[in-house]
Structure 1
Amino acid sequence: MRDESIRYLIVPGWQGSADEHWQSHWHRTLPNTARVEQQDWVTPRRESWVSELELSIASSADPVILVAHSLGCITVAHWAAAAPLELLGKVRGALLVAPADVERIGCPEALRNFAPIPRQPLPFASQLVGSDNDNAASAARAIEMGGNWGSDTAIMSGAGHINVASGHHRWEQGFAFLYRLQNRIEQHGRRSA
């Protein structure tokens, strides 16, 4: 990976990522970064969100690492389940932070059209980061999603939904998970060479 340019593609969740959100900070901080812009952040439609993600991946001249949060993680899983091989090949990996359990009791109505959550392994390296007190997905469900997707899974203590409301503005600690993912991608690349 060190010998190729990588585009970081930010994939926000429901209602987007405000300027104070760590995804916005990363967008400003990481080199060669773009953001998936959805047409409707408030009333998300699965087909539309997956299509926008696909357009963003297709329009990148470089291979991409997806940096997804909440409903963005579920969007990535839906996209990967049906994406064409040539576009799947452009994705080197995905950092999946605080995936939203759209199958949970009490899930907001606006998100339910993203259920059921795909359960097949992702065809690229992934690092899932959840929390033991996230109201959008229990630690057990985050671990289950990570297992289904073949992700390296980490559960943080007391991190909430890993967003502005839970005090994660810059989320510098998150870079350690991104670097862990990038190391896995590089190791896999050396084994495949």
Structure 2
Amino acid sequence: MKIAETDILLLPGYGDTPAGHWMHRWCEKMPTARIIAQRNWFQPVLKEWIDALKEAVAAAERPVVLVGHSLGSITAVHAAHGHGLDTDKIKAAFLVAPTDLNRAEPKPAFDAAQFSKVPKGPLPFRARVVASRTDPYCAYEVAEQMAKDWGAHFQDAGDAGHINMESGHGPWPEGLMSFAYLMKDL
């Protein structure tokens, strides 16, 4: 499937996603991509984040491909499991650096309880989880188990931190290549 034949919905995670972040760069390069805005990036509310995703999927004019990062990945998984998301419109999800909200350290900087019971059933669409061996917000083994639980393809990103600006991933060309392979397989 070609990118131009889909609506690419980008779901950033908690906090500020700076302009140089790979999500913003992808949005600028892909004419059918858009970032799903949230009311408050620093005080996330699961229902609000899911509702924003549901509205974006409902407004989509083409088949949808989700791209989540960190808490955005977790939001996509929650939404796909019994929250009224039109999963028939979604062809795939590219879930990057999902965060483990039950980790001992570092503690989430927000009330994570509403997000922390992440569904474990298979996703109703094709998915790829990309995880780093050195992500401070999710142990590699935990991310690998998440992918298994969700019936997703798992990709080892190596020593890549949280796959964000702080870990040196502004453009992230390897991620774009992986996303292109996912799109090719649709």
Shorter chain as denominator, the TM-score bin is: over 0.9
- Unaligned 5+ residue runs, structure 2? none
Letter of the aligned partner of 1:64 in structure 2?
V
* 1:89 corresponds to: 88
* 1:9 corresponds to: 9
Partner secondary structure for residue 82 of structure 1: coil
Instruction: Please give the root-mean-square deviation of Cα atoms over the aligned residues, in Å.
Output: 1.6
Partner secondary structure for residue 61 of structure 1: coil
State the alpha-carbon separation in 2 of the partners of residues 53 and 105 from structure 1.
29
- Pick closer, same or farther for the CA change 1:14–1:141 going to 2, 3 Å: same
* 2:154 corresponds to: 153
Deviation at 1:50, TM superposition (A): 0.8
- Pick closer, same or farther for the CA change 1:3–1:23 going to 2, 3 Å: closer
State the alpha-carbon separation in 2 of the partners of residues 128 and 57 from structure 1.
20
Letter of the aligned partner of 1:82 in structure 2?
G
Letter of the aligned partner of 2:31 in structure 1?
P
Letter of the aligned partner of 2:11 in structure 1?
V
* 2:164 corresponds to: 163
Partner secondary structure for residue 50 of structure 1: helix
State the alpha-carbon separation in 2 of the partners of residues 16 and 75 from structure 1.
16
Q: Which moved more, 1:129-138 or 1:174-183?
A: 174-183
- Unaligned 5+ residue runs, structure 1? 186-193
Deviation at 1:180, TM superposition (A): 2.1
State the alpha-carbon separation in 1 of the partners of residues 152 and 109 from structure 2.
27
State the alpha-carbon separation in 1 of the partners of residues 82 and 151 from structure 2.
17
State the alpha-carbon separation in 2 of the partners of residues 8 and 17 from structure 1.
17
Deviation at 1:176, TM superposition (A): 1.7
> Do the aligned partners of 1:93 and 1:126 also contact (CA within 8 Å) in 2?
yes
Deviation at 1:84, TM superposition (A): 3.5
Partner secondary structure for residue 94 of structure 1: strand
Give matches, 1:1-193, under 5 Å: 1-2=1-2, 5-84=5-84, 87-106=86-105, 107-110=107-110, 111-185=112-186
Deviation at 1:109, TM superposition (A): 4.8
State the alpha-carbon separation in 2 of the partners of residues 173 and 109 from structure 1.
29
How many aligned residue pairs are there? 184
Q: Which moved more, 1:169-178 or 1:104-113?
A: 104-113
Q: Which moved more, 1:100-109 or 1:33-42?
A: 100-109
TM-score, normalisation: structure 1 = 0.90
Deviation at 1:11, TM superposition (A): 0.5
Q: Percent identity between the aligned chains?
A: 33
TM-score, normalisation: structure 2 = 0.94
State the alpha-carbon separation in 2 of the partners of residues 172 and 3 from structure 1.
16
State the alpha-carbon separation in 2 of the partners of residues 104 and 116 from structure 1.
12
> Do the aligned partners of 1:103 and 1:117 also contact (CA within 8 Å) in 2?
no
